[in-house]
Structure 1
Amino acid sequence: MADSQAERPPETAPEDLGLTDETVRAVEIALDSGRVDEVEDLIEDLHPADMADLLESVSREERALLLEIVGSALDPDVLTYLDSALRDEVAEKLGPRETAQILKRLESDDALEFFEDLSEELRVQILARVPVTIRRLLQEGLEYPEESAGRLMQREVVVVPAIWSVGDTIDYMRQHKKQMPQDFYDLYVVDPRYKPIGKLPLSRVLRNKRPVKIVDIMQQDLNPIPVGMDQAEIAYLFKQYSLLSAPVVDPAGRLVGVITVDDVVHIVEEEAEDDLLKMGGVSETDLYSAAWETTRSRSTWLLVNLGTAVLASLVIGLFEATIQQIVALAVLMPIVASMGGNAGTQTVTVAVRALALKELSGKTARRFVWKELMVGLANGFLFAVPVGAVTWLWFQQPLLGGVIAAAMVVNMLSAGLFGTLIPLGLEKLKIDPAVASGVFLTTVTDVVGFFAFLGLAAVILF
C-alpha cells in the first residue's frame, strides 16, 4: 500500500494549471528581443487552449510575430479555442494556404465553427485551397441558419447497420480507424433508408461477446435533433436527459450528423456570455475592436436609456412646484427609485433564468407571479418602517416619513409585479427577455417610484 502511494504522481495544484502571467511576460520579452528559439521553447508544451489564451493576451504586433514563428505547425485545436473576435485576424496573418492546411486537420464541426467567423474574402480564398470533400462540407454547413443544429453538428459519425453483430462492428472500427472521429462515445444504428433506429454506447459494445446482435443491445431512446433546431433548445435537451451525444436528422429523418456534449458546453458558455453582453449593450468584439467602432456599437443602447431617463424626468417635472416647496423631496427621491430598481432586478434575474430553463409555464408562472408579489409587498413593509422613521427624525416631519414609507411599499410591490410580467411578456412576444427586461423594468420602477412618492407628497403635505 505504501509503495503504491509512493509511486502515485503528485497532484497538480490549481494555480499551476493554465497559462500563467509569467509565461506571457516571458514570451513578450523573447518576442521583443527577437529570440525565436526561446519563444519556441516557451510555447512547445502549451495546451491548445493555453496557446489560444496566449494569442489573445499579447498585443496585435506580438501576435503577428508569434504566428509567423509558429506558422503551419500551429496545433489545429488552437483555432477552436480562439476567441471568435480574433479568428479573422489570425487567419489573415497565417494566410489562406496555411489556414486551409490547418482546417483540413480539424473535425467538421470545429472547422465550420472557425470558418464561419471569417470574412467573405478569406472564405473564398480558403475554399479554393481545401479538398473538394471539405469544401462541400463547409459550404453546406453555411447554408444552415446560425446557431442551429446544422451549424453545430459533427459530420463524422460511426454508423452501423442493424444486421451486424458486435464482432462485425469491432472489426469495422479497426479496419477503418482512419475514417473514425478522433473521439466518440456512441455508435448509431440505421435502417436501409439511413434513418437512426438505435444508439449503442462504446462501453456496451466492449462488454458483449462477438456473436451478439447489435439490434439486441442498442438503446432505442434516441432524442433525435432536427437539423434546424436552435442551439438553446439543444442545450436544454442535453441537460434534461443527461445526454453525451444525440443524432441530427434532416427533414426526411435521415441521419446527417451528431452533436456531442463538448459542443453543448460551448453552447451554454456562448448563450450565457451573449445574454450578459446584451444586457449591458455591448458585444464580444469590444475588447479587440477600435475605440470608434465600440463607441458606435454602444450608442444605440445608450440612446434607449436616454429615452427612458427622459420619461422619468418628465414625471418629476409634473411635480416641480411640489419639490420647490419641500427640498427634502429631491433628497429622498433616489431612495425610492433605487430600492424598487434593485428589487425588480432580483426578480427579473430569477425569471429570466427560469424561462431559459423552461421552468415557467402555466400554473408555475402564475404561482411565481403571486409569490414575487408577496415578496415585494413584504420587503416593502420591511424597509418602509426604518426608512420612514429615519426620514421623520432627519427632517422632523412625521408626514414626510409616512409618504416615503407608503411610496416604498408601492414601488417594491410594482417591482415584484413587473419584474415577473415583463420577462414573461417579452417571452410571449418572441423577444429575448435577457436583452430587454432591464430597460423596461428600470423605466417602470423609476416612473412608479417618482410618481408614487411625489404624488403622495402633493396630496398629503399640501
Structure 2
Amino acid sequence: MTDETTGAAGEAGGIAPDALRDETGHVSARWLDGLRDALRAGDIERLSALMEPLHSADAGDVIEALEQDERLALVTLLGDAFDYSALTEVDDAVRADLIEAIPNADIARGVAELDSDDAVFILEDIEPGDREEILNQLPAFERLSLKRSLDYPEDSAGRRMQTDFIAIPPFWTVGQTIDYLRADKDLPDEFYQIYVVDPGYRLLGTLSLDKFLRSKRDIRIADIMNADPLTVPAASDQEEAARTFERYDLVEVGVVDDAVRLVGVLTIDDIVDVIQEEATEDIQRMAGVGDEEISDSVFGALKSRLVWLCVNLVTAILASLVIGLFNATIEQMVALAALMPIVASMGGNAATQTMTVTVRALAMHELDRRKVMRLISREMIVGVVNGAVFAVLIGIVTTLRYGNPGLGAVIAMAMIINMFVAGSAGVLIPLLLNRLKADPAVASGTFVTTLTDVIGFFAFLSIAGLWFDLF
C-alpha cells in the first residue's frame, strides 16, 4: 500500500468533512480507495475508524458509492459496529439488495438499536415471513411497539412516528419533572416538548421546553401546559401531517389513535423527508416514471416507463389520424406540413404550464369552490391573451417567410384557438381526474398533450381548408 493511500485512509478516519467529500460534494475517490483497501485486507479496526465518525447520511452515501459485493462485505466485517440507520439514507433498491443478503439475526440486532421510526422504515419493505422472524428476536416491548406502527397504513403518520416520547401526569411539578428527566436513562436522546397525559395515555396537553425551563420548580405542570394542543391522527396520510407542520410552523407534534391516546410523535426531521418524498413522487408521476430511482436496474427502469410510453404511442396515433383526414389540404400547400408542429407545440407547452400550477394546487389542497372558478377563468383569459400575442408574431413570420398573408392569417387563428384550449384543458382535466379519484399528477400530462395536439392539428388544417376554398 502506498503512503498516499494510507494517508487518505487516515484522513478519512477523522471527522473532517473535506476528507470525505471532494470539491463536487461527492464521496472522495481517495477516501473510497482507502476504504476499499481496508475491505480487501479484512481490516476491521481500520474500517471502524473510517466509518464510525460518519453521520448516517454520509454513511449512506458511502454505501451507495460501493459496488454490491463491497456493500455486503462492509456490513459483514463491521458486524455489531455497523450503524443500521445508514440504511434509511440509501435508495430503496440498494437497501432491498442489502437486506436480502444480511441474515435476519443480524438485522434484528441492528434495528434494536434504532429509533422506532427508523426501524419501521427498514422493516416495512421486508417480506412478511422474514419480518416476523426479525421481530420475534426483539425484546417484547420493542416488538409490540414496532408491530403497532407497522399495522398502520403505508405512508401514514403512524408509520412515520417515533414511539419514544416524554409523557408525564398533570399533577407533577416542574421540579419533579426535571428530576425525572435527569434520572431516567431510557428517555429519548432528543425531544422538543413534553406531553401531559392521563393514566390511559389520553393527551391532555403539551409543554414546550422554553416555557418549562423558565418556570419555577414548585409550579404544577397543569398550570403551565397548553391544554389545546395540535395533534395528528395516526391513520392520516403523511402528506396531511406535513401540511400541518407547514401551516403551524411546528417542530414536533403528538400522534394519537382513534381514542385520542398518545401513541407517538412526529418530528421535523421526519417531515422534511416526507416533503422531499412527496415532491419527488409528484414530479416523477407527471413524467410517467413512477417511483424509479437511479440505482434501479435496466428492467426496473423499463417497467416503470413502458406503460405510459404505450399510452403516448396510442395518443400519437390518434393525432396522426387527424392529420390523415386533411391529406388533400396538405397536398395543396406543402408549407402546412412545416407549420403544423408549431401550433401543436405551443399549445402543449402552454397546457403544461397551466397543468403544473393546477396539479400543485390540488396536491396542496389549496382549491375551494371560489378558487377553482377563479383559476378556470384566469387560465382561459391567459390562454386567449397568449394566443393573441403569439398569433401576431407567428402570423408576421409566416407572411414574411412564405410571402402569403393568407397563410399567416390561418396559423394566427389556429394559434388563438389552440392556446385557449390549452389553458382550459390544463386546468379542467386535472380537476376532472381529481373528481374521479384518479391521480392528476399521473394521468393529466397524457390527456392534455393529446387534446392540444388533436385540436391544434384539426383547427389549423380545417381553417386552412376553408381559407383555400373561399380564396
Shared topology, TM-score over 0.5?
A: yes
Structure 1 range deviating more: 236-245 or 217-226: 217-226
Q: Give the Cα separation in 2 of the matches to 1:454 and 1:31.
A: 69
Matched, 1:81 2:94: no
Matched, 1:147 2:155: yes
Matched, 1:268 2:275: yes
Q: What letter corresponds to residue 249 of structure 2 in structure 1?
A: S
- 1:49-91: CA deviations, max 9, x gaps? 1110111122212222322332221123212222222222222
Cα pair distance change 1:276/1:417, threshold 3 Å = same
Q: Give the Cα separation in 1 of the matches to 2:429 and 2:30.
A: 48
Q: Give the Cα separation in 2 of the matches to 1:58 and 1:458.
A: 63
1:46-445 to 2 correspondence within 5 Å? 46-176=54-184, 178-445=185-452
Cα pair distance change 1:29/1:224, threshold 3 Å = closer
- 1:296-332: CA deviations, max 9, x gaps? 3322121111121122122112212212222111111
- 1:74-113: CA deviations, max 9, x gaps? 1232122222222222223332122111100111111101
Q: CA deviation at 1:33?
A: 5.4
Q: What letter corresponds to residue 119 of structure 2 in structure 1?
A: A
> SS of the residue aligned with 1:232?
helix
Q: Give the Cα separation in 2 of the matches to 1:187 and 1:98.
A: 34
Cα pair distance change 1:285/1:20, threshold 3 Å = same
> Contact between 1:19 and 1:50, CA under 8 Å: does it hold in 2?
no
Q: CA deviation at 1:220?
A: 2.7
> SS of the residue aligned with 1:228?
coil
> Contact between 1:340 and 1:415, CA under 8 Å: does it hold in 2?
yes
Cα pair distance change 1:387/1:127, threshold 3 Å = same
Q: Give the Cα separation in 2 of the matches to 1:283 and 1:119.
A: 22
Could you tell me which residue of structure 1 aligns to residue 12 of structure 2? Answer: none
Q: Give the Cα separation in 2 of the matches to 1:164 and 1:145.
A: 36
Q: Give the Cα separation in 2 of the matches to 1:311 and 1:119.
A: 43
Gaps of 5+ in 2: 1-15
Q: Give the Cα separation in 1 of the matches to 2:237 and 2:30.
A: 39
- 1:406-434: CA deviations, max 9, x gaps? 11111111111111112222222222222
Cα pair distance change 1:63/1:15, threshold 3 Å = closer
Q: CA deviation at 1:289?
A: 3.4
Q: Give the Cα separation in 1 of the matches to 2:381 and 2:425.
A: 13
- 1:10-42: CA deviations, max 9, x gaps? 999997796433356425752685474665554
Q: Give the Cα separation in 1 of the matches to 2:375 and 2:149.
A: 41
> SS of the residue aligned with 2:195?
strand
> Contact between 1:24 and 1:57, CA under 8 Å: does it hold in 2?
no
> Contact between 2:361 and 2:367, CA under 8 Å: does it hold in 1?
yes
> Contact between 1:388 and 1:402, CA under 8 Å: does it hold in 2?
yes
Structure 1 range deviating more: 91-100 or 393-402: 91-100
Q: Give the Cα separation in 2 of the matches to 1:15 and 1:416.
A: 46
Q: Give the Cα separation in 1 of the matches to 2:38 and 2:367.
A: 54
Q: Give the Cα separation in 2 of the matches to 1:431 and 1:442.
A: 17
Could you tell me which residue of structure 2 aligns to residue 5 of structure 1? Answer: none
Gaps of 5+ in 1: 1-9
Matched, 1:460 2:467: yes
> Contact between 2:291 and 2:304, CA under 8 Å: does it hold in 1?
no
Q: Give the Cα separation in 1 of the matches to 2:24 and 2:311.
A: 43
> SS of the residue aligned with 1:199?
strand
Q: What letter corresponds to residue 117 of structure 1 in structure 2?
A: D
Structure 1 range deviating more: 296-305 or 182-191: 296-305
Q: CA deviation at 1:269?
A: 0.7
Q: Give the Cα separation in 1 of the matches to 2:351 and 2:318.
A: 18
Cα pair distance change 1:259/1:32, threshold 3 Å = closer
Q: Superposition RMSD on alpha carbons, in Å?
A: 2.4
Number of residue equivalences = 452
> Contact between 2:242 and 2:274, CA under 8 Å: does it hold in 1?
yes
**Segments of 4+ in structure 1 off by > 6 A?**
10-17
Q: Give the Cα separation in 1 of the matches to 2:115 and 2:142.
A: 10
> SS of the residue aligned with 2:310?
helix
Instruction: Report sequence identity in percent.
Output: 46
Q: CA deviation at 1:290?
A: 3.0
Cα pair distance change 1:31/1:388, threshold 3 Å = farther
Structure 1 range deviating more: 24-33 or 359-368: 24-33
Could you tell me which residue of structure 2 aligns to residue 6 of structure 1? Answer: none
TM-score of the pair, normalised by structure 2 = 0.90
Q: What letter corresponds to residue 143 of structure 2 in structure 1?
A: R
